[in-house]
Amino acid sequence: MARWVCFLLIPLATGIRSKSDTPWPWEEHPASSAEELQELLRTALAQTRPNEATGEEPGDAVAQEEALRERIASIRKDWQSASATACHRQLGRLINNVTLACEGLQPKADWLLDYYVPALPNKTCAESTSDIFALGSELVETLHVSRDAVASVDVAGEMLRRYQALSFLRSWLVKLTETRQHALLWAGFWDGDPENRATQAALSNFAKAIEHATVHPNTFLGQAIEASENLDACYQDALTRALAGNMWSIASMSFVLGMRERAQGTVIALVNKQIAGERSLSQSVLSTHEIPTVGLAAWGLGFWSPKVLVVDLMGTCDKTSPALQKRLLARLPSWAKSMTNWSPEAFATRSRLQWQCIDCSGACSLDEALARHVEKLVEAKEEQDQKDQELRCASSAGTEALAAPKPRKLRSPTRRFPAVDPVSTHFGRCPVRAGGGCFESGWLPASCYFQIQVQPGPRVRLPLALGRGFLPGRVLHVYLGGGKCCTTEWSACVGGADSSFCKGDRLSYLGGGKCCVTGSSYYVKPTCAEGTRDFCKGYPWKYVGGSKCCASKQASCEKYYESSRCSSQGGDYLGNGNCCWNS
C-alpha cells in the first residue's frame, strides 16, 4: 500500500517542484517562419503600384550629387583649420582615415570593365571615398546590376559609371568591415544608461559571451566612424545630413555583405529603443540602413537565408518585430521591379529568412544565462542549415520514382528559360537521377532547366544550399564528402592546371592540378582548350596553367590555325594552333 501511495505522489511532487523553479526572466516569442515572411513580401510587392516613382527626378539627382561633391571638396580643405565646424572636423577625419586605408589595400574595379570601349577612367581612393558620401544610397541600389549584364556589354551610361564606382568600392571597403567572429547589430546602447543595463560595456561583454563581434566599433570602419563621433554633429544641415546618410548606407551594405559572404546563419540585433519619440528606433541606423540591407542581401542578391534574432531590452517585441520586418522589406519592391526575369511569386522565394524576437525587460539583462540561451538558438540554426544542406543533396537518392519517366536531356543552352530557384528547385522538388548524394551522370527533367556537375577534389570551404549562403557567380564548387565536389552550374574541368593561375571569378582549383570553370549563366556550358599564357588573355579567356585556357562561355575551337588567319575570321587565337569562336 505504501508503494502505491509513493507512486501516486510522484506526479504531485513533480508538479510542486516545477512550480517552485524560477522561470527565465525573458519571453521568447514564436518565430516567424520563412513562409510567413515570403507571404509578407508578396503582399508588399502586390501593393506596389506599377508606375510608382522609385526615386528623384534625374535632374534633381545630378544637382544633389554635384552639391554634395562640392561640400566634400570643401571639407577636405578646411577640416583641420581652427574655423572648421564640428561637423566638418568629424567628416574630414573620417574621410581622411578611410582614404588612407583604401590606399593601403590597392583596390581595383571589376576586371570586366577593362573590355569596355571607350575605356572608363581609372578610379582613385580619393574619388572612391567621395563616392561613399555623395552616392552611397544610389550605389546600394546598384547592387542589382549583374556581372552577366556587364560581361554582355548591356550596361551603359550612368548605370555603368555607378557599377564601376560600386565594384571599386566593394573591392576594399568590405575588407574594412571584417570581424574575426560573426557580426552583431545593435541600437540604443550608451554609457549614460541610468539602469546600467544597456551600456556599451554590457553590449561588449554580451557579444564576447556569444562569440560575436559588434560591427561598430569592432571593425576598422566601425572604429573610424566612432573616432569621428558617429558624425553626430552633422544632422542639423540638410547637405551634411545627406552626407552622413549616404555614409551609413554604404557602411551598412559593407557590414551586411560581410555577413552574407561568410554565410552567417543568424543575424542578432540587440535593441534598446522605443519605436517612436526622441532618438527612436525608427530613426536609428539599425532601422533605416542595416535591417533594410539585410533584406537586400537575402532576397535582392538572393539565396542567403539567415535567421534574424532580435533581443528587445524594452520588452516590446509585439511592436518592434512588425516595425523592423516592414523595414526589412522596404527596399525590395524597386529591386524586384528591376529583375524582369523573376515573377513576384518567384522573387519572394529567393530567401527563406526567418525572424524571432526575445523580450528582455524588467529583471532580464544581458547576462550569462541569456547568452547561453542565445548561443543554443544560434547552434540550432547552424545544425538545421547543415541538415538542410545534406537533405537537399540526397533528397532524391535511392527513390524508386527515378525509374519512372525517362529524364530528357537539357534543351538548347541558348534558349531563354523561365526564372527558377536554382537550389531549392534542384534539391527540393525536381525528381533527379542521383548517385553518391549528388549527380554523377544523367540529366534533370526538362522542367528543371539545368544540370549539376560533379568533380573529384579536396574540401573547398564554400556553402552550397539555400540557407547556407549560395552566391550565384561566386560559389563554384562545394565539397560534399567522399572526394566529390559539386556545382549547380555547367562546368568544364581540365587537368595539369596551376593553382596560381586557376583563381578568380568562376574558377575553382580542386587540387591535384584540376581546374574547373563554370558557365556565365545556368544555361551556358563553358569551354577549356589548349593555349599558351602569351596568347590566352582577354575576356572571356583565362590561362589556368598546364597549357590550358578556359572560358566561362560556350565556344567551338579548331586546330592548326595561324594567329593572323584566326583574327581575320573573328576568332580568339589561344596559341598552340588553337582558334576559338564564342557561341
The pLDDT value given to residue 296: 94
Domain end position, chosen among 361, 394, 427: 394
Please give the order of strands across the beta sheet that includes 212-214.
27-28, 354-359, 307-312, 266-271, 182-187, 212-214
Residue 230 lies in a domain: yes
CB atoms within 10 A of CB 248: 21
Q: Do 258 and 271 fall into the same domain?
A: no
Q: Which residue, among 542, 541, 543, 544, has the nearest Cα to 582 in the 3D structure?
A: 541
Of the residues 340, 364, 394, the one at which a domain ends: 394
Specify the pLDDT at position 475: 45
Alpha-helical (H) ranges within 124-237 are 125-141, 147-151, 157-173, 200-209, 220-227
Mean pLDDT by 10 residues, the chain (583 residues): 44 38 83 96 84 56 92 96 95 96 91 87 96 94 85 87 95 86 90 83 92 82 91 93 94 90 91 90 93 94 92 96 96 89 90 96 93 95 82 50 39 31 31 28 29 53 32 50 65 83 79 79 76 85 89 84 81 87 77
Whether residue 236 is found in the same domain as residue 204: no
Range of the domain at 131: 66-179+215-262
- Both 162 and 286 in one domain: the answer is no
164 shares its domain with 300:
no
> Interhelix angle for 238-261 vs 220-227, to 10°?
160
* pLDDT at residue 457, rounded to an integer: 60
244 and 343 in a common domain = no
pLDDT computed for residue 70 by the predictor: 96
Tell me if 338 is assigned to some domain. yes
Domain for residue 159, yes or no? yes
What is the Cα–Cα distance from 509 to 511, expressed in whole angstroms? 6
- 10 Å CB burial of residue 405 (0-12, 13-18, 19+) is exposed
Asked whether residue 114 is assigned to any structural domain, the reply reads yes
Cα(583)–Cα(572) distance, integer angstroms: 12
Indicate whether 219 belongs to any domain. Answer: yes
What is the rounded CA–CA span in Å between residue 366 and residue 364? 7
pTM for this predicted structure: 0.65
Q: Is 388 inside a domain boundary? A: yes
253 and 364 belong to one structural domain: no
Q: Does a structural domain hold residue 493?
A: no
pLDDT at site 368 = 94
- Asked if residue 16 belongs to a domain, the reply is no
Say yes or no: 161 and 221 in one domain.
yes
Residues 200 and 304 in one domain: yes
Domain end call among 367, 394, 421: 394
Same domain, 124 and 222: yes
Q: Tell me, what's the pLDDT at 564?
A: 82
Our count of domains for the chain comes to 2
* Same-domain status, 131 and 227: yes
Give Cβ neighbours of residue 312 (< 8 Å, ≥ 6 apart).
271, 320, 357, 358, 359, 360, 361
Q: Do residue 168 and residue 98 come from a single domain?
A: yes
Q: What is the pLDDT of residue 69?
A: 96
Same domain? 80 vs 162: yes
